[in-house]
């Protein structure tokens, strides 16, 4: 019987990219009115076990939509 070190379970940290943090800091105060309207999305994010907070996800969603809209109109 081998007596080795116990296996350590890898824990997935709730790490978020820099662009997500930037979009949250930029837009959080302006889009708080959307949070109650998107409660089903919050439930879906929790069920999918996504490692991103709901508020950060919504801010990133709006931020990327704005960027896409700006580039779409410009081209």
Average pLDDT over residues 48-72: 95
Residue 3 has pLDDT above 80, yes or no: no
Residue 54 has pLDDT above 50, yes or no: yes
**Predicted pLDDT at 16:** 82
As a residue count, the chain comes to 75
Which residues, 6 or more positions from 30, have their beta carbon under 8 angstroms from its beta carbon? Answer: none
Chain mean pLDDT for the chain: 85
Q: E strands within 1-75?
A: none
Read off the pLDDT band of 9 (50, 70, 90).
very low
Read off the pLDDT band of 12 (50, 70, 90).
very low
């Amino acid at each position: 019987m081998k007596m080795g070190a116990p296996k350590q379970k890898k824990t997935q940290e709730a790490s978020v990219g820099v662009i997500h943090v930037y979009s949250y800091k930029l837009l959080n105060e302006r889009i708080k009115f959307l949070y109650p309207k998107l409660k089903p999305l919050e439930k879906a994010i929790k069920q999918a076990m996504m490692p991103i907070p709901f508020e950060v996800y919504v801010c990133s969603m709006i931020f990327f939509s704005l960027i896409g809209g700006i580039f779409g109109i410009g081209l």
